Each structure stands twice: as structure tokens, then as C-alpha cells.
Chains A and B, each alone.
Chain A
Amino acid sequence: MRRGKDRWYRAYPGWIRWVLIGWFALAILAPFVANERGLVIRYREEIHFPVFHQWGVDAGIIPHQDYLRFRLHEHPQDYQILIGPLIPYRAETLDASNSNYRSPLGHQEISSWYYRHWLGTDQLGRDTLAGLVYGARTAWWVGMLATALSIIVGLFFGLISGYYGNDRAFISRGSVLAGCVVLLVVLSEDIGWSHQSTQTLEVLLKWGLLIGLFLLLLFGFHRVPSLKKRIGVPIDRMFLAVIGWFKSLPGLVVVMALLPLFKHTGIWSLALLIGLFRWPLIGQYVRAEMLRIRHLPFMESVRLLGLSDRRILIKHALPNVWPPVIVNAAFGVGAAVAVESALSFLGLGLGLDQVTWGTLMNAGRNYFPAWWLTVFPGIALFIVVYVCNVLGDRWLAQYNS
């Protein structure tokens, strides 16, 4: 069955692959592309590798060295660059002699062309191009993490709701009863006893044990004959209701309203929030696909063979619901990047300690003549979103045909 549509996901314009590879490379190699330290330098007649060294210092492997404090554009003495990074600035590097919005076209206080700010600087003298490089890195991680999260959650709930539908999931009365009992015990345990320690590990262990017990009772109760009578659980209907809640809300607004929950907004928390509002979409497509293949002969036969539900879902259903997931993932990456930069633009997302495309654009609003701060990050964002959309569109068209 999959033969006929084999490799449909290869059908997209070739340049898209190169844009994506370039983006990925920037995300991984940003410190080597744009850095205020040299890759290979000679300092006091000795060869050093400051960028790698700094990486080791950050990882806590090697001690800090004297020469790490030198910045290329300050031309330290006894310091010779053997191999320099492409851009001799980091996103946060302050070039004091080129502060106050130097235009990319105008005059810049530089000693050689190597130190030129090709895309200008902002008020503090930070290089826009370096900002773009590091912004690409942030955008990549937020986009990918958010999409990965939404895929995991969406697949899980979509598969389950499509497979069980409204008629296949049952729960015995005994299990409901036992579940209530266990929950009560858990709550009373947590409330009623005076207890000594709130060590995280202990609490986690306790809860893990109790939840494990709860699950065991939930799924193992049908072996006890007296409470065997089963009640149907309309999983599909429940899932649709939850999806309805998510779909009727403007995601950006709710993400904004939830952001203050995190004391420090990092890549992970942002990805978590964005993924939270993306999974229903993926779950919805997975569910539809699952409903479609649910009664196909191969699914019926593996059910008749008596395979366990988990095995059927993972081994036989999962490979067949991938197409809508990856089509949606392509759109999702673009949307996540757009939301991330919108939040940074509004001053809510990352950006207090990290330069992103959004914060650059925000800086451009403060000083109208600095068009380069608005134009270039916008172009970067536009390219990424456009590429993701084209990819998704092509896949969708190919898959539908």
C-alpha cells in the first residue's frame, strides 16, 4: 500500500533543501561563524584555540585562560589571528567605536574590511549580522523543539482517539472504583499526614509509586470477576472536545497570557508553550487518518490475530499516519518561528539575554533611520517561514494526488 506513494516527501524544489541545511548549519555552528574570539590564534608565540577553549570552559571541563578575555576588534597586543571566524563579532559584542546605529552603507570606524559591520550596528554597537546568525540558532531550536513536542503529544492522543473511537475503549466499573479509591488515598496521603521532608526525589518516588499502582488497578482490574461490568469510554468525543477548546482560542494571546508563569523565559519554556497550542492540529489529522485506516483489511487482520493494542498502534498504525504529521510539522516549524519572533518583538519572549530576530526588529522601531535593523531580520524570518510553507504545500499537494 505504501509502495504507490513511495517517496512522495522527496517532491520539493531543490533550493529548499539548501536553505534548510544552511539554517541548520548556522544553528549548530553559530559560535564558529560569528565570534569575538579567533578560531586559531597565536598569543605570545603560542598557538591557541579560543573558541574551542571557551566552549570547554562553558562546559566546565577546562580552566579559564588569560587570552580568552581578548576581543578581536579591540586588537589586543601580542595577539595574531591565524584563522578567524567569518564574522569577528558575537551577537552581544559591544563595538564601542561603532555604536549609535552605523549604517551598512555609511562610514564605519574600522581598521580593515574584515571588521566591517556588513549589515550595520544598533545603538550599543552590536553587529546586526552576528545577531542574525545567533537569531537563526534560537529560531531553529524553538521551531524544532516546539514541533517535536507537538508531534509527540499529537501523535499519542490522535492515535489513541482514532483507534479506540467511541466504541472500543472500555473501563470496568471496578477500575473506576479502584481509581477513585487510589486517588483518595493519594490525596489524603498528601494532605492528612504530617511529614518530614519535601525532597524532590522522595516526593517523585512516592507519587510515581502511587500513580503506578493507580494505573495497575485501572488496567488490571478486569481480572477480578465481581466488578467486571464494563462502561464504554467515548475517547474520541472527549478528544474532539479538548481540540475544540484549543482551536477556538487565539494561540498567540494565550501563550502571551501564560508566559508570566515562567520566571525565566528560555528556549524550552517557549517551545513548550508553542507546542501546547500546536499539538491539537497534528492530533486532529492523525485522528482523521487513523479513522480512515481503522477498518482497512490489514488493521482488521492484525486485530483478529490478537496482537495487543499497543503493538498494533506502534507497529502497524504509526507507519501509516506519518504523512499528515510531517506535512503539518513543516507548517508548524514556520508558525513556531513566527510566534517566537513575534513574542520577542513584543518584548515578552527571549531576548533579555539573547538576541533574536524579533528583538532586532524591535530595536529598529526605536530609531526610524536605522532601516537595516528592521529589514534584514525580517527578510531572514520571511525566508524561513516561506520555505516552511512551500515545503508543507508541496508535500500536501503531492500527498493528496
Chain B
Amino acid sequence: MVIRLLGMLTTLLVLACALFALYQYLPGDPIDELAGGARRDQESGFNPRLYAERYASLANRYGMDQPYFYFSVTPKGLPLSFLSIPDHRKRALWKSWYRQLGDADLVQSWWESLEGLAQSGADPGLISAARTALRERDLNLVLRAFEILPASADIPPSIAEQMVRIQNALQQSGRWLGIAFYWHGPDNQFHHWVRGLWTGDFGRSMHDGRPVTRKITEALRWTVSINGLAIVLALLIAVPLGVFLAAFASKRVARVIRFLLYAGYAMPVYWLATLLVVLFTSDTYSMDWLPSIGVQYGYASASFADRFIHSLGQLVIPVFTLVLTSLAYLTRQMEKSVEQQLAAPYLVTAQVWGMPRGKRIWKYVLPNALFPIITLIGTLLPVAIAGSVTLEFICNIPGMGRLLLDSILTKDWPVMFYVTLLIGMVTLLGILLADMIYALVDPRIRQNGFA
């Protein structure tokens, strides 16, 4: 048990590290967007100083101005301030420039003068050269870009002077700068993000500024209740159906049912749901039998249970689709499991004793056939959750999948990070729960030491 829990924690930690590392390489800079960086290319309405202030305060608010990890290994002489530049592209650029020049002041002043040049109303060729230079890592290329400018574009003396300095620095390249090791302690982004998991304080959404925790708990309720309801319903149908198929059904009936189940399995979840929504929630095909999609929010003070019950009509389609897709798999496994039990020798003994067939099956076969099904719930959960992502999108349910989708589309990184992590966590918990139930009902597992 302890080992299982430790394994789960490792999985979560690996996932957190991987997601965190990958998010550092996401294209685009959400802080820049929040601070109104998109207006930079417009002629009017962009105030660089105001932008810089807003950028700094927003970066501070979302903890983006801290170093990534507990420690950093850098070339010697690289100022710590370089490591806490919020924009990861700029950070990488400055680091790269520093490695070419070995002079932090030069890097900073070069950047500033380039920015000034890009903002000024100078020659358009010069401006575009400066914009390119603000993105280009290779300083040699940058120098060349300025060299090929026509003579009419007079390069400001400050830039020209810096270019000479850069030229000199580049000629001395290949020097050993030395390696510095910095320990940042817990004041780093990774620590804050992972600590959020522990304390339940996930920070604020970059999109609307609401606490991520509240957004997620709200969404988690919907996802868990829909998936839970669907799995319970699917089990309630699949278990008797499996027994029926294996023990009672005639060949022809079984074949028809199997085909239907198989078709349900291959049918794309979201296609079926879309069809149902199109057919039954509007008046277009005169079959307006279900309320239109989207759950009832009601008034803010209504409890979740109230809202859930009021939205039952809207939940028919998603739950039905989820049940249908997991039904095929569950029934098939149940059928196999029953078939296996039916071939067991103890049933022959029971038959010889004269035990009636119904009693043999319901009292002895069914409980034994149920064991493998319990572990299946664990494997079914990831599939169900993945399926509910599209369902929440179609049926407009504010669950985890919907939240994830919205956060991806709006570049809401904190929400994206925690939602992915929590979906992983819910899945892991489901698997653990299935194992625990298994151990609870099957004495053999308990005796063999459930670990």
C-alpha cells in the first residue's frame, strides 16, 4: 500500500516536472499579452514605459519573475537579474548574448538601444533591422544585417559605438568564462507551482484573475459526478448483460447485441453526442425533447447538488454517450470473465449435485466473474475522462475538459498546468481505488500482501 502510494507520488512528480519543463518552451508570452504588448506594432497608443511597468507588476503577480528551479548553473559573471527575466525568449537571448560577449552591461545596453531604435521613427530599414536583431541569437548575423543597410540609413552613433564593442568582444570569443552555481532556495517558480498542489493555493488565472482553486473545484465536481454516474450506470447495465450474453442468450441474439455494442465502441464519442444534441435539443428536426445544452447555473448561492439536480435534463446526453462508449468494453470483459468461470470444474461439481442452473450462475459464477471487472474500472477511467473532454465541449458543461480547452486557447498557463496535473491525479486515485476495492472483496489478494 505504502509502495503504491509512493509510486503514485513519483508519477505525479514526474508529470509535474515534465509539464513544468515543457511549459518553459511554450511559444508566446502570456504576460506580454496581458500587458498589452500586441499594441506595440501599432503606430499609436503604445507607451513603452507604461508597458514596462505593467509587465513588471504582472510578472511579479504571477511569479514569473523568479528563477525556474532551485539552482542554476551559468557562465560566471552572468548577473542574477538575467535569470529572472519573465519572458523566456528574452532570457534565453540575453544568456546567449552574454555567452558570446562575456559582458553583462554590453548585453543590457545593446538591448535597450535596439529597443529604442525599434520604437523611434527612424528609417524603416533600420527599424526592421533592429526588430530582427531583438530576436536573433547570433550576434555575427546581427552585425552583418546592419552592415548591408544602405548608406542612407544613418545608424545612430550610440548603436555604431556598441557595434564596435561587440565586434571586439566577438573577436576574443572562445575564452573560458568559468562556471557559476547559484542556489535560489524555495523562491523559484517550480517550488511555488508544486507547493500549490500541497497547499491547495493554485494562484490566479491569467485570463480572468479568479483563483485557480475555485475554478478547478467547480469544474472537478462536474467532471467527477458525470464520469462517476456514467461508470456506475455502465456497470449496472454491463454486468447483467455480460452474464446474459455468456450464459443465456441464443447465438443469434448474442451476435446482434455484440454487433451493436461493437458499433457503439467504434463510434466516435463526440460524433454521437453532436448528433444527439443536434437532433434532440432544438426544434430543427421537431424532436425537441431535451432542454438545450449547457448546465443551469442558477443563482450563485445554490449548492452544487441543487444545480446538478436542476441540470439533470442537460446531462442526459453526455452521460448516455459516456455509458454507451464504456458499455461495449465492460460487457465484453464481463462476458469473457463469465465464460471463464463457466468452464471451471467447480460448476461441474455443482451440476452433479443437482444445483439448479440459475442458482449456479447467480450465486457462484457472478461473484467470481466480478473480480476482474473491478480492475477494469481503473483502466476505464483515463478513457472516460478523455472522452468527457470532448463531451464537455459539445454539451457546454463547465468541467475539467472544458476548462483545459479554454485555458489552452487563452494561454492561461497556471490553469493549464494544474488542470492537467489534477486530471492525472484523479485518474491515479481511481486506479488506486479500484485496487483497494479489489483487495477488499478478494481475500486472496489481501493474503498475498497488497502492496
Contact = CB atoms under 8 A, between A and B. Distances in A.
Interface stretch (B93-101, B214-222, B236-244): B93-101
Interface string B355-385: 0000000000000000000000000001101
A256 interface: yes
B333 interface: no
Contacts of B404: 253, 256-257
Q: Is the interface of A mostly helix, strand, loop or mixed?
A: helix
Interface in B402-422: 404-405, 408-409, 411, 416, 420
Contact of A260 (B100, B411, B427): B411
B420 to A, nearest CB: 4
B120 interface: no
Overall SS of chain B's interface: helix
A377 B268 CA distance: 11
Nearest to A259: B408
Contact of B268 (A187, A253, A341): A341
B408 A260 contact: yes
A245 B382 CA distance: 12
Contacts of A361: 270-271, 274
A196 B140 contact: yes
A347 B424 CA distance: 23
Contacts of B173: 194-196
A247 B389 CA distance: 18
Contacts of A151: none
B174 A193 contact: yes
Contacts of B389: 250, 252-253, 256, 346
Interface in A229-252: 241, 244-245, 247-252
B386 A386 contact: no
Given A194-B175, A250-B427, A245 B408 contact: no
B416 to A, nearest CB: 6
Contacts of B428: 248
B209 to A, nearest CB: 21
A105 interface: no
Contacts of A371: 278, 285
Interface in B135-177: 137-138, 140, 170, 172-177
B7 to A, nearest CB: 7
B429 to A, nearest CB: 10
B274 A256 contact: no
A257 B7 contact: no
B420 A194 contact: no
A197 B99 CA distance: 10
B64 interface: no
B409 A347 contact: yes
Nearest to B420: A257
Interface residues of B, number: 69
B390 A346 contact: yes
Nearest to A242: B14
A375 interface: yes
B263 A386 contact: yes
B382 A196 contact: no
A153 interface: no
B266 to A, nearest CB: 4
B278 A253 contact: no
A114 B10 CA distance: 62
A251 B173 CA distance: 46
Given A250-B386, A345-B270, A385-B266, A365 B394 contact: yes
Nearest to A264: B27
Given A260-B408, A365-B394, A381-B268, A194 B382 contact: no
Contacts of B398: none
A191 B179 CA distance: 7
B270 A368 contact: no
B268 A192 contact: no
A389 interface: yes
Interface string A133-155: 00000000000000000000000
Contacts of A194: 75, 99-102, 172-175, 177
Interface string A373-401: 01101100110011001000000000000
B81 interface: no
B188 interface: no
A334 B266 CA distance: 9
A192 to B, nearest CB: 5
Contacts of B275: 374-375, 378
Interface in A343-358: 345-348
Contacts of B19: 257
Nearest to A371: B278
B15 interface: yes
Contacts of A191: 73-75, 99, 179
A75 B431 CA distance: 62
B320 interface: no
A195 B100 contact: yes
B99 A245 contact: no
A369 B278 CA distance: 8
A50 interface: no
A337 to B, nearest CB: 9
Nearest to B278: A368
B427 A192 contact: no
Contact of B408 (A256, A262, A364, A378): A256
A199 interface: yes
B137 A198 contact: yes
Nearest to A251: B386
A305 interface: no
Given A248-B382, A347-B409, A196 B170 contact: yes
B75 A342 contact: no
A261 interface: yes
Contacts of A252: 386, 389
A47 interface: no
Contacts of B108: none
A195 B99 contact: yes
Contacts of A197: 138, 140
Contacts of A251: 382, 386
A258 interface: yes
Nearest to A252: B386
A245 to B, nearest CB: 5
B205 interface: no
Contact of A374 (B74, B76, B271): B271
Contacts of A187: 73
Interface in A71-116: none
A140 B173 CA distance: 50
Given A195-B100, A260-B27, A348 B408 contact: yes
A345 B173 CA distance: 51
Given A197-B138, A368-B282, 17 more contacts: A191-B99, A192-B178, A194-B175, A196-B174, A249-B15, A252-B386, A253-B386, A253-B424, A254-B424, A257-B416, A260-B416, A345-B390, A345-B393, A348-B409, A361-B270, A374-B278, A386-B262
Interface of A: 187-188, 191-199, 241, 244-245, 247-254, 256-263, 334, 338, 341-342, 345-348, 361, 364-365, 368-369, 371, 374-375, 377-378, 381-382, 385-386, 389
20 contacts: A191-B74, A191-B179, A192-B76, A193-B175, A194-B99, A196-B140, A248-B382, A249-B427, A251-B382, A253-B401, A260-B411, A334-B266, A342-B390, A361-B274, A365-B274, A368-B278, A368-B284, A369-B284, A371-B285, A385-B268
Interface of B: 7, 10-11, 14-15, 19, 22, 25-28, 73-76, 96, 99-102, 137-138, 140, 170, 172-179, 262-263, 265-271, 274-275, 277-278, 282, 284-285, 382-383, 385-386, 389-390, 393-394, 401, 404-405, 408-409, 411, 416, 420, 423-424, 427-428, 431
Q: 6 closest pairs, A vs B, by CB?
A: A378-B271, A252-B386, A386-B266, A250-B382, A250-B386, A196-B173
